[in-house]
Chains A and B, each alone.
Chain A
Amino acid sequence: MNDMTPSSAERAAKLEGMGCKRKRVEDIRFVQGKGNYVDDVKLPGMLYGDLVRSPHGHARITRLDTTKAAAVPGVVAVLTADVLKTVNLAWMPTLAGDVQMVLADGKVLFQNQEVAFVVAESREAAADAVGLVEVEYDPLPVNVDPLKAMAPDAPMIREDIKDKTEGAHGKRKHYNHIFSWQAGDKAATDAAFEKADVKIKEFIVYPRVHPCPLETCQCVASFDKIKGELTLWGTFQAPHVIRTVGSLISKIPEHKIHVIAPDIGGGFGNKVGAYSGYICSIVASIVTGRPVKWTEDRIENLSTTAFARDFHMDVEIACTKDGKVTGLRCYTIADHGAFDACANATKWPAGLFSIISGSYDFPAAYCLVDGVYTNKAPGGVAYRCSFRVTEAAYCIERAMDIMAQKLGMDAAEFRMKNLIRREQFPYTSAFGWQYDSGDYQTALKKAMEATNYKRLRDEQKAKREAFRRGETRELMGIGVAFFTEIVGAGPSRACDILGIAMFDSAEIRIHPTGSGICRLGTKSQGQGHETTYAQIIATELGLPADTITVEEGNTDTAPYGLGTYGSRSTPVSGAATAMACRKIKAKAQMIAAYMLEVHDDDLEWDVDRFRVKGNPERFKTMTELAWAAYHEVPPGMEPGLEAINYYDPPNFTFPYGAYICVVDIDVDTGMVKVRRFYALDDCGTRINPMIIEGQIHGGLTEAFGIAMGQEIHYDPDGNVTTASFMDYFLPTAVETPHWETDWTEVPSPHHPIGAKGVGESPNVGGVPCFSNAVNDAFSFFGSTHIQMPHDHWRVWTAAEELGLHG
């Protein structure tokens, strides 16, 4: 190689491949207001849809009259359940195997349920008409408490299935019962509890919350009567699933449905499901022959399109007296609202909740989940977590603290003693999951050193003594959390949605001049896919990331995939991207061998080129090979340089992290000040550290909101009392703490590039860490568990109940 040739390292740096803090490609349009979100779509003749909603939590509809609304100038159509019945769409199937009313059919089952859909020439005319749809209701008894749902005299939520003794997931034991789901070994676990030296039991509630992306759910449906084709723009995290489900329920052939998810203003799980507004817009477009736009307002978003959590968990841990855990048992009531529209892999009605043994070496474990109907909104989604993983992580991390407290052990020391050890990987948990990799002790040790954990505990002790002497009214709390996620759904043997295996895809075309395009089945909602997928390709193929276009969200052009949620983009489509690159590279190697007149085994890869072993001056760069692929391929080889990969992962991935939080609590006001938050994450191979850090910051902020103030609350009459930003806490820049991030890097052994996914880790680990910090402050006064959210009032109340106000 002559002196003019840049070194391998210099050439690698120019590619901006994996490991590079590459600036985001997306930002150029976003910072100039040139993003293209659904509400920016404007079609000729477009109409606006608006929904009439129920003011009641549970009521029979005795009269529904749309005459006055239809007479409003500008109103083109008013849809009701009776209209939808003519096209067999008054009800729709849910992802969870249930059915759901699109528009209220005879009765309403939760407040703000969709009752009628008005379509008009303008938003204003539609809003006028919504107020003129006349509905009379006969209120019914309401139940919003999942713990009372299976009482003998509980109000019957679902009359339509009252005689069904078999649900989508087996036997139903009550008319409000949806499913029972269990995992683990009950007998072995019960035996462990029999023998245990020490046991704890606690009732832990993860309240109902909402993902609340800044952009609400919206769509534009445009049906072309001549071609019989539907084009649907929408806020879809899973565009292909929407196309398939849309075809199955509308009977429009799938090749005549074009789903387009343009830029999405945040998703966090809210935009996985199919909602009434979408179905109504499609029907309205078919009926009127014109495009129809539907955009939710914020109240509609918070109170109707999905919710998250609402898990009510009775957890127990068994332990030896010297602090070795021996058993875990958990019984959960899951509130699914009025219809079971949870977004889970179909076989998993409680998602991946059996990750509840967490990061610890439990010899025996068992969990049982009962899903129930209540008069609340449907749609349990995985809000910035893999299916039900955050509920599991919260539960185990709180329970571990409670056990440490009972044993009189330090929370970190107790965890250290029970963490799965490095040499145990690959580790099969008591629930049967195969944790692929990890080095937990190193991560926790690093976190404790970085925060000077011991000194924090000393300070806390001194402060507590000062509090007891009456010298301060402030308490210090230290939260420790060590979480393990299970993400990247998923292996087809375990995961499907309505029978479609949860693989994902990447299709790469390299153009003659050496640039290219990559299309994928996933869909970014802010994660920066246009930037990071190109970095994988840059490293794999030796082409600069800037020369690769990444495109997602158009079902006509993108290969089939199951979309972006559950941290599955990198584990599944990221793997597909690498595998497609490797097909391309293999072909390029054959071309290089032909051009250099050597055997392909005599070539070696060097950053951006194949060179002859032992003779590095003889090489062909990838750019040269791209050109050759279009005019100089070996005899018999197909021209062109492209590949597609559908990746069915052999296993999930298991990102983990060690988080430590320090809070100062004013006992007299209930104010909790977060002094410090340190987050160490191990997401395996790091593709773009800048983006990883951004994901951690964002997820921690959402976790802060959940732990410290969020709740979708219903009063006993079924009124949702927290459905606007007046009442639903979203942290501003003022409350949001400063975040410290750190990492270790243990690559996933089964993933082509070793990456595990990261976007959801901070939400999963953050919530228990905040909650543990608040609980820790009060644990020294005999408190074992204070329910979230830890807002001022609840914290003050906890202090009051402990007699700390004198």
Chain B
Amino acid sequence: MAKSQVAMKVNGKTVEALVEPRTLLIHFLREQLSLTGPHIGCETSHCGACTVDLDGKSVKSCTMFAVQANGADIRTIEGMANADGTLHPLQEGFREMHGLQCGFCTPGMIMRAYRLLQENKNPSEEEIRFGIAGNLCRCTGYQNIVKAIQYAAAKLNGVPFQEAAE
């Protein structure tokens, strides 16, 4: 099959590659760029394990062709930690609040939470729950994921994090 040339920015770096027109963005990221943080959990856009940030939106990279991302600016979980190796407040929050168990949904969940906090700096619990409804987790029951996002929001807003009472 004839290949197409694509160029895009991924985690701040410009990449150029040849892809089959039918190559999915998730396969391009995982297999051609070796960015194996985004995962594949379904093929119907329900689970969100493949979520990446693309041109300011949360995108499920299993339901988009790599050629459609030509010219895009993409951020994956691999681009979240700070240059000095310290964790992004969301990454820190997920660990502090026990917001993950098997870790398979985590990269997608964090990338979705990242965009959510760009759109709403101080979301309520309900807004968080609605905001991450496109990302499934089979391990945590979401309660600690909500807390992890609240933790990150507080840290990003420079206010102390107060865990809601049980």
A residues bordering B, Cβ < 8 Å? 23-24, 26-35, 37, 39-40, 42, 123-124, 212-216, 263-266, 268, 295, 297-299, 525-528, 690-691, 693-695, 697-702, 724-726, 730, 732-734, 736, 738-741
Contacts and interface: CB of A to CB of B under 8 A. Distances in A.
Contacts of A295: 40
A724 B42 contact: yes
Contacts of B138: 212-214, 266, 268, 698, 702, 730
A661 to B, nearest CB: 14
Contacts of B166: 740-741
Interface string B46-82: 1101000000000000000000000000001110110
A348 to B, nearest CB: 27
Interface string B122-155: 0000001110111111111111111000000000
A27 B140 contact: no
Contact of B139 (A23, A263, A526): A526
Contact of B31 (A34, A42, A216, A526): A42
Contact of B144 (A32, A265, A694, A702): A694
A697 B41 CA distance: 21
B44 interface: yes
Contacts of A35: 103-104
Which 5 pairs of residues, A with B, have the shortest CB-CB distance? A33-B37, A526-B102, A30-B103, A265-B104, A697-B141
B95 A698 contact: no
A420 to B, nearest CB: 30
29 contacts: A27-B95, A27-B100, A30-B106, A31-B87, A31-B100, A31-B103, A32-B78, A33-B78, A33-B107, A35-B104, A37-B36, A39-B40, A40-B36, A214-B41, A214-B47, A214-B137, A214-B139, A268-B138, A295-B40, A298-B42, A526-B101, A694-B139, A697-B141, A697-B143, A724-B44, A733-B130, A736-B143, A738-B143, A741-B166
Contact of B98 (A266, A691, A702): A691
Contacts of A34: 37
A28 B95 contact: yes
B96 interface: yes
A216 B106 CA distance: 16
B20 to A, nearest CB: 7
Nearest to B142: A733
Nearest to A302: B42
Chain B's interface: helix, strand, loop or mixed, by majority?
A: loop
B117 interface: no
A733 B103 contact: no
Contacts of A699: 141
A26 B103 contact: yes
Contacts of B98: 23-24, 690-691, 693-694
Interface in B4-37: 20, 22-23, 27, 30-31, 34-37
A607 to B, nearest CB: 26
Contacts of A27: 94-95, 100, 103
B105 A32 contact: no
Interface of B: 20, 22-23, 27, 30-31, 34-44, 46-47, 49, 76-78, 80-81, 87, 91-92, 94-96, 98, 100-107, 110, 128-130, 132-146, 166
Contacts of A528: 101
A203 to B, nearest CB: 31
Contacts of B140: 694, 697-698, 701
B95 A726 contact: no
B98 to A, nearest CB: 5
Given A698-B101, A698-B138, A741-B166, 13 more contacts: A33-B35, A33-B36, A37-B104, A214-B49, A215-B104, A264-B102, A693-B98, A697-B144, A698-B140, A733-B128, A733-B130, A733-B137, A739-B143
Contacts of A740: 166
A268 B107 CA distance: 21
A459 B29 CA distance: 55
A32 B80 contact: yes
A34 B36 CA distance: 7
Contacts of A739: 141, 143
A213 B98 CA distance: 19
A696 B106 CA distance: 19
Among A31, A216, A693, which residue has the most Cβ atoms of chain B within 10 A? Answer: A31
A701 B141 contact: yes
Contact of B81 (A24, A32, A124, A730): A32
Contacts of A40: 30, 36
A212 B49 CA distance: 14
B38 A725 contact: no
Among B27, B42, B100, B130, which residue has the most Cβ atoms of chain A within 10 A? Answer: B42
Given A215-B102, A265-B104, A736 B41 contact: no
A694 B103 CA distance: 13
Contacts of B106: 30-31
Among B98, B133, B139, which residue has the most Cβ atoms of chain A within 10 A? Answer: B139
Given A265-B39, A526-B139, A31 B104 contact: no
Contacts of B20: 124
A342 to B, nearest CB: 22
A24 B140 CA distance: 14
Contacts of B47: 214, 298, 725
Nearest to B96: A23
A700 B95 CA distance: 21
B159 to A, nearest CB: 22
A39 B43 contact: no
Contact of A265 (B35, B103, B130, B141): B103
Given A39-B40, A214-B47, A298-B44, A31 B110 contact: yes
Contacts of B103: 26-27, 29-31, 35, 263, 265, 526
Contacts of B132: 732-733
Contacts of A32: 37, 77-78, 80-81, 87, 91
A730 B104 contact: no
Contacts of B130: 733-734
A114 to B, nearest CB: 18
Contacts of A730: 46, 136, 138
A29 B141 CA distance: 21
Contacts of B81: 32
A758 to B, nearest CB: 13
B135 to A, nearest CB: 8
Given A32-B77, A32-B91, A738-B143, A297 B43 contact: yes
A466 B76 CA distance: 54
Given A263-B103, A266-B102, A525-B102, A31 B94 contact: yes
Nearest to B102: A526
B143 A30 contact: no
B129 A733 contact: yes
Nearest to B145: A733
Contacts of B146: 733
B124 to A, nearest CB: 13
A614 B94 CA distance: 47
Contact of B77 (A33, A42, A215): A33
Among A29, A123, A525, A732, which residue has the most Cβ atoms of chain B within 10 A? Answer: A732
Among B77, B135, B138, which residue has the most Cβ atoms of chain A within 10 A? Answer: B138
A251 to B, nearest CB: 34
Given A33-B37, A39-B39, A725 B100 contact: no
